[in-house]
């Protein structure tokens, strides 16, 4: 996610992206119009999600399971481990499965930002990421190991993913995200970086899915669509949206990329502005949900954290090990739980 303190990059991004990033937030509904007024019961679905769907792969533009049937992953991303490490527990993962109906979670390894970032504290960082991965394996859901950075740190990324793929390469639960959100890097730069990191992963893990970012905070998916990585299988490309900022233009751009043959995974999204703050735009968020469901696109919502901003789904009262009450959830937390309970239902 774009850090809320970096508003200058947002302004520059608007200039670079034109109508996509610069769209006005449009209609913002009052909570009574978009938020659920009743507490929905957790939906019934198989408790052994990975056991049922097994090894994932990419066929054409679609994520499919071990039987070759389309599968859609829906879940939550943890906030930067370097800022909110207290939530990086196996118990939190289990609660996200039980109460939110997540079939996937995303562990965001904060590379540069935060006091406990990866560049300064690699051992602490890997310990936190492993806690979430181990929790997902025990909970029998999928997990994304996310290199959460806006800059290229090639040597560090190669070492990190080499270690993670060696440890977890035989687990069908694991998906690798090699570059969260490139900001001002060109696609040739991102592509060259990704190719090197993919090699490090494939030395240990020949088949788990790998996610690749695109320039301008995962907005410019048309660039990899025109020049995708060759010679590798089970790759998908990430698109990120914040519904009060990014509108129909981004969906059109992404749909065109899919039609051209590019597999898309929405590894980060939410219903407010791209700053992570401001009111939720329920109508715009629902439009994205409808679009992703219609196209069988997997999606992750940001984030499991307790920062004083809209996109952090938790209040300061939330325990580090789950078991949250409704009173511990912010408006965005209540809404995303409603979405996950509604859509993560096995037929």
Which residue is it, tokens 């039980």?
Answer: 98
Non-local (6+) Cβ contacts of 5 within 8 A are: none
Q: Catalytic site residues?
A: 181, 268
Sign (positive/negative) of CA torsion 106, 177, 119, 14? negative
Give the DSSP letter string of 248-309: HHHHHHHHHHHHTT--EEEEEEESS-TTS-S---HHHHHHHHHHHHHTT--EEEEEE---SS
Selection from 264, 326, 250, 240 nearest residue 58 by Cα? 264
Q: How far apart are CA 143 and CA 136, in angstroms?
A: 6
* Backbone φ/ψ region at 136: left (φ over 0), alpha (ψ -120 to 50), beta: alpha
**Which DSSP symbol is given to 64?**
E
State the CB neighbour count (10 A cutoff) for residue 154: 13
Helices 282-294 and 248-259: angle between axes, nearest 10 degrees? 10
Q: How far apart are CA 144 and CA 137, in angstroms?
A: 11
Selection from 104, 88, 29, 116 nearest residue 267 by Cα? 104
Non-local (6+) Cβ contacts of 115 within 8 A are: 82, 83
Q: Label residue 58 exposed, middle or buried (CB < 10 Å: 0-12, 13-18, 19+).
A: middle
């Amino acid at each position: 996610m774009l850090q809320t303190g970096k508003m200058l990059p947002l302004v520059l991004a608007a200039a670079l992206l034109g109508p996509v990033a610069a769209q006005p937030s449009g209609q913002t509904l009052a909570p009574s119009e978009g938020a659920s007024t009743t507490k929905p019961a957790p939906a019934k679905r198989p408790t052994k999600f990975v056991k049922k769907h097994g090894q994932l792969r990419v066929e054409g533009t679609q994520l499919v399971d071990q039987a070759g049937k389309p599968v859609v992953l829906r879940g939550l991303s943890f906030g930067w481990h370097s800022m909110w490490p207290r939530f990086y527990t196996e118990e939190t993962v289990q609660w996200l499965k039980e109460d939110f109906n997540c079939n996937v979670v995303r562990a965001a390894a904060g590379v540069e930002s935060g006091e406990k970032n990866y560049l300064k504290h690699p051992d602490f960082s890997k310990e936190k990421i492993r806690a979430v991965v181990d929790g997902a394996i025990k909970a029998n859901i999928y997990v994304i190991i996310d290199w959460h950075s806006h800059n290229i740190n090639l040597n560090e990324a190669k070492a990190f993913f080499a270690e993670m793929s060696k440890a977890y390469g035989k687990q069908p639960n694991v998906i690798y995200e090699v570059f969260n959100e490139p900001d001002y890097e060109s696609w040739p730069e991102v592509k060259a970086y990704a190719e090197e990191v993919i090699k490090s992963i494939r030395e240990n893990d020949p088949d788990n899915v790998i996610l690749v970012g695109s320039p301008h905070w995962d907005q410019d998916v048309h660039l990899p669509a025109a020049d995708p990585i060759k010679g590798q299988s089970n790759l998908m490309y990430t698109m990120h949206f914040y519904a009060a900022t990014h509108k129909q233009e981004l969906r059109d751009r992404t749909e065109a990329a899919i039609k051209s043959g590019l597999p898309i995974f929405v590894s980060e999204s939410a219903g407010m502005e791209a700053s992570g703050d401001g009111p939720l735009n329920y109508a715009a968020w629902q439009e994205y949900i409808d679009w992703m469901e219609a196209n069988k696109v997997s999606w992750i919502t940001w984030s499991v954290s307790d920062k004083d901003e809209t996109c952090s789904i938790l209040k300061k009262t939330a325990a580090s090990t789950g078991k949250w009450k409704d009173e511990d959830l912010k408006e965005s937390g209540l809404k995303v739980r409603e979405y996950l309970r509604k859509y993560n239902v096995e037929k």
